[in-house]
Structure 1
Amino acid sequence: MRSIWRGAVSFGLVSIGVKLYTATEDHDIRFNQVHATDGGRIRYRRVCSIDGAEVEYSEIAKGYELPDGQLVVLTDEDFEELPLASRREIEVLQFVDQGEIDPIQYEKTYYLEPDPSATRPYVLLRDALENAGRVAITKIAIRSRESLAALRVKDGVMVLHTMRWPDEIRRPDFAFLDEDVAVRPQELQMAEALIGSMTGAFDPTEFTDDYREAMAELLEAKQSGGEVQPLPETAESGAAVVDLMSALRRSVEAARGGASTEETPAERTPARKATAARKATRAADEDAAPARRTTARTTAAADRAAPAARATPAKKATAAKKATAAKKVTAAGKATAEKAPAKRARRTA
């Protein structure tokens, strides 16, 4: 494990050097956002909304918008100057029974490891808390955010739970709380009996994440079935793409039926505009598609609506033409047959 914070637990006149470690970790199956058509990774860039330029992280500050619309900009130096005593100190404020803390207030959990020179006072505070059956209420600042925290003992290690401030806990405002809902005693008795029959010792290892297991099986099945593809090569960041306005202009013209078929020279912009251009083109094509489908349906309907009476004369005319052509072919054949003996007679003479 890697520590995320280093400071001291301040307990009266005693200061105990400690390091903080995150006590939990996620085992969720993580996915990357990719383009569905080619598998390319979706990238997000920090872009200024005024000049459109990409901004380096070192040039980013924090801004607070005032009610009148004005902006107060704070830099890292401004935050460093704040008088935050709990920045490197876990200050013990009081001791309480653990049952007095509503679990809804708990936020994140951390392990405390003593510095090599602070092992003895660490063990002293740990044993005192455990023997008294108490929890220490403290304050700590992690990443420029000060929080209340509960310090308790678990498996021989002091554990710190950061807590929400009282004004961060939302109150349930549901209509049914003001309604008089009647419950029959028999129903209540049966519900209590069901609870009693399902009561047991809590063992978290008995429960599994069914969704995660199903997702893992799905991924394994796709892999064994050959439904995989190599990672695509990333396009160069400076590649030129069609300008957004040019794409929009041509898309609108196409949607109107091709009022202007000549292509205007495409202006070029940095590659970060590519996604917007593709989205705009697709949006305009989607707008044009209904018009094309409507025209096709109208033409087909007009063809079907033609009077059936016209079909009969057409068939007769076709038959007459075929008969005439057949007669001409027959007559030509006979004439050829009559001429053939005469030609042979002349060659013999």
Structure 2
Amino acid sequence: MRSSWKGAITFGLVSIPVQLFPATEEHGVSLHQVHAEDGGRIRVKRYCEKENREVPYAEIAKAYESPDGRTAVLTDADLSELPLPSKKIIDVLAFVDASEVDPLLLAKPYYLQTATPAAAKPYVLLREALAGTGRAAVTKITLRTRESLALLRVRGDLLVLQTMLWPDEVRSASGLEPQGKVEVRPQELSMATSLMDTLSEDFDLQALHDDYQHALDTLVAAKLEGVEPPSEEEAGEGAPDNVIDLMAALSASVKAAERSRTAGEPEEPEEGKPPRKSAAKQPAARKTARKQQPEAKKTASSGGRKSPEKTAGKAGGQPAEKTGEKPAKKTAAARRRASA
């Protein structure tokens, strides 16, 4: 990693030679413009409107155009003569509690490394003093010909410098807050807190990644190989733009979050309620009930008394057919039908 700035931290009569290293980097595929018909590269040329010709970069200067149309041309020599007290130093203005700094002011971060071996002791001294008091240093620094505020704070064993916006560069938020009187019930606040707790369990910020960047890399690789990109699952529907019942939405969100965390675990019965019977056993129970219905009908038709055949069989130890009772009855019935 190559340093992007060299200078010194100064506060009082103390000077600490340091160098800056960018602390972050943005991942992405560099895309450029081409002609859609043939893929030809689209170039932006530096063109002078007055002379109708392309001009080299060495002939280009910066300028400011006033509202009435006048132009003030500023050359590199003009800009180099502007007073920049913080051109090669990180000038400490004051020490403040780190919690007092609005995160909205913070911009690009840099790691600070000592530039010489002799700078190690004052570097560590400043680091320990900031860490022990919970403070950060508000400083000024000039990067790329522009002076800006910066916050000097501790991160682990390193000092970190994070550039800041000037206070007047932050826009006013007046009028953007919810209008009218809004009342939040304690139940809603409790449910929202429960949802926050559920979503925050086992959260690992380091495990997050850029799904869009991964999909873009895959798409570019497929295009370079001349193959069809893998199909992605269709995106789900967006969140509703209106919430009819806030409590119902919060409750459903909590239950959904809990289900996603306990997927695959056996469902426990609710307190005070017996466990539900499995659906597979219910048809068998109904089938058994149907089988018992004819027996019940037989009992009802006989008035609850045992049939003569069964009684005789039980008393004599033989079935009714063997005792001759049943054939006699059939013969008498036949004689009655014949006489009729």
Task: Give the alignment's TM-score, normalised by structure 2.
Answer: 0.63
- Per the TM alignment, residue 198 of structure 1 is displaced from its structure 2 partner at its CA by 1.8
The residue correspondences of 1:155-194 to structure 2 (distance < 5 A) are 155-174=156-175, 177-194=178-195
* Partner residue, 1:198: 199
* Partner residue, 1:217: 218
Question: 1:22-48, CA deviations, whole angstroms, 9 ceiling, x for partnerless residues?
Answer: 111111122121111111111111111
SS of aligned partner of 1:193 = helix
* Partner residue, 2:71: 71
Residue type at the aligned position of 1:74: L
CA-based RMSD of the aligned residues comes to 2.0
SS of aligned partner of 1:127 = helix
* Partner residue, 1:92: 92
Distance 1:110 1:218 in 2: 33
Residue type at the aligned position of 1:108: K
* Partner residue, 1:150: 151
Distance 2:177 2:139 in 1: 37
* Partner residue, 1:39: 39
Task: Give the alignment's TM-score, normalised by structure 1.
Answer: 0.61
* Partner residue, 2:270: none
Question: 1:111-158, CA deviations, whole angstroms, 9 ceiling, x for partnerless residues?
Answer: 111112422222221222222221111011111211111101112111
SS of aligned partner of 2:54 = coil
Structure 1 residues 31 and 80 mapped into 2: Cα distance closer, same or farther (>3 Å)?
Answer: same
- Per the TM alignment, residue 18 of structure 1 is displaced from its structure 2 partner at its CA by 1.1
Distance 2:140 2:177 in 1: 37
Farther-moved stretch of structure 1 (128-137 vs 97-106): 128-137
- Per the TM alignment, residue 211 of structure 1 is displaced from its structure 2 partner at its CA by 0.8
* Partner residue, 1:102: 102
Distance 1:40 1:227 in 2: 22
- Per the TM alignment, residue 21 of structure 1 is displaced from its structure 2 partner at its CA by 1.2
Distance 1:110 1:200 in 2: 31
Distance 1:208 1:35 in 2: 32
SS of aligned partner of 1:167 = helix
Structure 1 residues 92 and 202 mapped into 2: Cα distance closer, same or farther (>3 Å)?
Answer: farther
- Per the TM alignment, residue 224 of structure 1 is displaced from its structure 2 partner at its CA by 4.2
Distance 1:158 1:201 in 2: 29
- Per the TM alignment, residue 193 of structure 1 is displaced from its structure 2 partner at its CA by 1.5
The residue correspondences of 1:1-349 to structure 2 (distance < 5 A) are 1-116=1-116, 117-174=118-175, 177-200=178-201, 203-226=204-227
Structure 1 residues 32 and 68 mapped into 2: Cα distance closer, same or farther (>3 Å)?
Answer: closer
- Per the TM alignment, residue 159 of structure 1 is displaced from its structure 2 partner at its CA by 0.4
* Partner residue, 1:240: none
Distance 1:173 1:64 in 2: 31
Distance 1:106 1:221 in 2: 39
SS of aligned partner of 1:9 = strand
* Partner residue, 1:312: none
Residue type at the aligned position of 2:22: T
Distance 2:202 2:124 in 1: 30
- Per the TM alignment, residue 52 of structure 1 is displaced from its structure 2 partner at its CA by 2.1
Distance 2:6 2:119 in 1: 13
Residue type at the aligned position of 1:190: M
- Per the TM alignment, residue 68 of structure 1 is displaced from its structure 2 partner at its CA by 2.8
- Per the TM alignment, residue 183 of structure 1 is displaced from its structure 2 partner at its CA by 3.2
Structure 1 residues 201 and 83 mapped into 2: Cα distance closer, same or farther (>3 Å)?
Answer: farther
Distance 2:76 2:223 in 1: 47
The share of aligned pairs that are identical, in percent, is 52
Query: Structure 2: where are the runs of 5+ without partners?
Result: 230-340
Structure 1 residues 183 and 4 mapped into 2: Cα distance closer, same or farther (>3 Å)?
Answer: same
Distance 2:202 2:134 in 1: 22
Residue type at the aligned position of 2:20: L
Residue type at the aligned position of 2:33: Q
- Per the TM alignment, residue 87 of structure 1 is displaced from its structure 2 partner at its CA by 0.9
Q: Decide which structure has the larger Cα Rg and report it.
A: 2
Structure 1 residues 176 and 136 mapped into 2: Cα distance closer, same or farther (>3 Å)?
Answer: closer
- Per the TM alignment, residue 66 of structure 1 is displaced from its structure 2 partner at its CA by 2.3
* Partner residue, 2:308: none
- Per the TM alignment, residue 204 of structure 1 is displaced from its structure 2 partner at its CA by 2.3
- Per the TM alignment, residue 226 of structure 1 is displaced from its structure 2 partner at its CA by 4.2
Distance 1:201 1:95 in 2: 36
- Per the TM alignment, residue 54 of structure 1 is displaced from its structure 2 partner at its CA by 1.2
Residue type at the aligned position of 1:83: P
Residue type at the aligned position of 2:152: L
Residue type at the aligned position of 1:135: A
Distance 2:190 2:52 in 1: 66
Residue type at the aligned position of 1:87: K
SS of aligned partner of 1:177 = coil
Question: 1:203-233, CA deviations, whole angstroms, 9 ceiling, x for partnerless residues?
Answer: 32221111111222223333444479xxxxx
Structure 1 residues 35 and 118 mapped into 2: Cα distance closer, same or farther (>3 Å)?
Answer: same
SS of aligned partner of 1:34 = coil
SS of aligned partner of 1:218 = helix
